[in-house]
Structure 1
Amino acid sequence: MVKNALAERVTGERLLSNREKPTPEAVRRRPISREFQYPEHPAERTQQPRLFSMNLSFEVLQVLDAIDRTGTFASAAETLHKVPSSLSYLVQKLELDLGVKLFDRTGRRATLTHAGRVVVEEGRRLLEAAEALEFKAKRIEHGWESELHIAVDEIIPFDLLWHHVSEFYKLKLDTKLHLSKEVLGGSWDALLTRRADLVVGAAGDPPPIPNLMARPIGSLKHVFVVAPDHPLASIPGPLTLDMVARHRAVAIGDTSRKLAPRTIALAVNQEVLTVPTLEAKLAAQIRGLAAGTIPECLAVDALNQGELVQKEVTGMRDVTHFYLAWRDDESGKALQWWVDQLDRPDLIDEVVQQRALHG
């Protein structure tokens, strides 16, 4: 029997020795008993967001504000449609949580302590910010843009817009207005590159821009003018384009960034003085530095005073059409409001009638 037991032991040891020894990886993956857990590797820990317990709430800030404004807990409770005991509980709990005394209750009126005054005043700022945020979210949800960029062509004076800006602000929206100036093709380019949501007074034929909406708002007549002592002034009869091309022209620099720059009444290889504004262009022509076309409404005073001479040029275009333009793929309520105000076929006529270009 002893021999049999010994044989079984030897056989068992041989069987154990023939088994495949577990690898360290296999050992690590073995189920771990509840009594012991391997410590978690720092790299495998999941970062949990830290949660802060806030003692202040918008409700208690509103309560503090009401008590300070009305002077008593009872009056504040009436204003907030609550019972005075609920207000007293909220304030006492807040004082306990913060470890500071907010009100001096020795008199008939609830008087704020210095710490209480700080909490109330800062709390009011928080309440105003929260109200503004809620209002802004609702406006955006209902289609009002947070910002609106309006580009105005150099031909359009800002005086034409101030009334509409004032009316827009009366709506008390959170939409921020950004007004800018563009010249010639730069107005169309502003829409193409989305640096403007709306363009007032885009000049010339509309280029191919995706989702473009363009409404005519009128036309302006241009006149070719030179100083009285300019060589072209003494030539009798109508001028030809070749005659004009031999002399320096003055033009406003096109503000296009992506589209090809546009020019008005310029010949190929003609010498050009480039200026930034219509006023600078007019001044250069009055001084005899260059010749060129200019809106008649801007030149009329100089013509009447003899500072400029008008000359007829055969074959030169003398009318420019202007547009109110936008893209309808991202239109919101603020944009639509401005379109409704400015979508008038006689808008440019107002520029001429008011002679606002001098402003």
Structure 2
Amino acid sequence: MSKVTLEQWRMFRAVVENGGFNQAADAVNKSPSTIHNAIQKLESGLDLRLFKMIGRRATLTHAGELVLRRASHLLDEADKLEVLSYRLRSSKDGRVRIAVDQVFPRQRLHQALTAVSDAFPNANIDVFESTLSGTTELLKLGEVDIAIGAYPIADRYSEEIDHIDFLAVVSPAHALNSLRASLTMEDLIPYRQIVVRDSGHERKLDHGWLGANQRWTVDNVETSVQLVSLGFGYAWLPNEAVKDKVERGELVPLPLSFNHAKTSQFYLMANDLEALGEMGHCFVDAIRLSNPLKNNLE
């Protein structure tokens, strides 16, 4: 049986990170004597001297430096285990939380939700309709278990699941539609652009904004489609959201001399894929099944 507890390892790391016993005591809300006793028991159990005092500062010995590396890994793994246990309990309780960028095709989302509903009739599902960096921000903050968006996080699980095409469109009566046969970037600047607000708080993105002198910012794609249809301005909008209106002649693509269409790669993301539980994996499998990129390769 181990002579050392996780709590002692935590106090050991706290002393290192905070530069002393008193500082560590403040950081972990323990008394200095509790910290001292924990370190003494740790050194006794390991039969190693972990700290030496230089002035009033506790400094690691060579042995302490080596032990710290393994202790930090142990504590990180213990934290991951607690998170895994929480998520498995959440899955058992019948809940999955999903952030989906608003431009992701609704049909694919609805198909995946239907698959979860059919397999888990009593499931509780939280769907956060987000935009731009707001999708990955919810994942980073632990507010959701799964995210679908265009901005993957470097150290989290992600897999490419779609390419979303965007068109610059206006109403048929808009001045830009009859301005000239081929529009340049400079032609667009005097006209109002409708953009969708980034729902994130950490960093705001201006994806699709072309530097128009005037812009209106809205919270969702649907409102942007409505305003453009009413002639208030032009916008870059997902093809899925406007193709019916374009086919009916209610919206027209701008005849641009540059970037007639834009494409964004979309990703399925999770903090820990293994920790999703049965409902989370059911949703992921359904999204994968409808992946047009995979289907095109087969």
TM-score by length of 1: 0.50
Q: Does 1:265 align with 2:208?
A: yes
Q: Which amino acid aligns with 1:287?
A: L
Unaligned runs of 5+ in 1: 1-139, 351-359
Counterpart position of 2:238: 295
RMSD (CA atoms) = 3.0
Q: CA deviation at 1:348?
A: 8.4
Q: CA deviation at 1:342?
A: 2.0
Larger radius of gyration between Structure 1 and Structure 2? 1
Q: CA deviation at 1:248?
A: 0.9
- CA 1:271–1:215 in structure 2 vs 1: closer, same or farther (change >3 Å)? same
1:26-175 maps to which residues of 2 (within 5 A)?
143-145=88-90, 146=93, 147-156=95-104, 157=106, 158-170=109-121
- CA 1:345–1:214 in structure 2 vs 1: closer, same or farther (change >3 Å)? farther
Instruction: State the secondary structure of the residue aligned to 2:275.
Output: coil
Larger relative CO (CA 8 A, sep 6+): 1 or 2?
Answer: 2
- CA 1:287–1:348 in structure 2 vs 1: closer, same or farther (change >3 Å)? farther
- CA 1:329–1:313 in structure 2 vs 1: closer, same or farther (change >3 Å)? same
Counterpart position of 1:357: none
Unaligned runs of 5+ in 2: 1-84
In 1, distance between residues paired with 2:125 and 2:178?
49
In 2, distance between residues paired with 1:221 and 1:342?
18
Q: Which of 211, 225, 228 is equivalent to 1:282? A: 225
1:216/1:345 contact within 8 Å kept? no
Q: List per-residue Cα deviations over 1:273-321 (Å, max 9, x = no partner).
A: 1122222111111111010111223222222332222113233351122
In 1, distance between residues paired with 2:248 and 2:284?
39
In 2, distance between residues paired with 1:312 and 1:206?
32
TM-score by length of 2: 0.60
- CA 1:310–1:142 in structure 2 vs 1: closer, same or farther (change >3 Å)? closer
- CA 1:332–1:161 in structure 2 vs 1: closer, same or farther (change >3 Å)? closer
- CA 1:344–1:185 in structure 2 vs 1: closer, same or farther (change >3 Å)? farther
Counterpart position of 2:46: none
Q: Which of 232, 235, 242 is equivalent to 2:179? A: 235
> How many equivalent pairs are there?
204
Q: Which of 137, 153, 156 is equivalent to 1:189? A: 137
Q: Which amino acid aligns with 2:134?
A: G
1:220/1:348 contact within 8 Å kept? no
Q: Which amino acid aligns with 2:253?
A: Q
- CA 1:328–1:160 in structure 2 vs 1: closer, same or farther (change >3 Å)? same
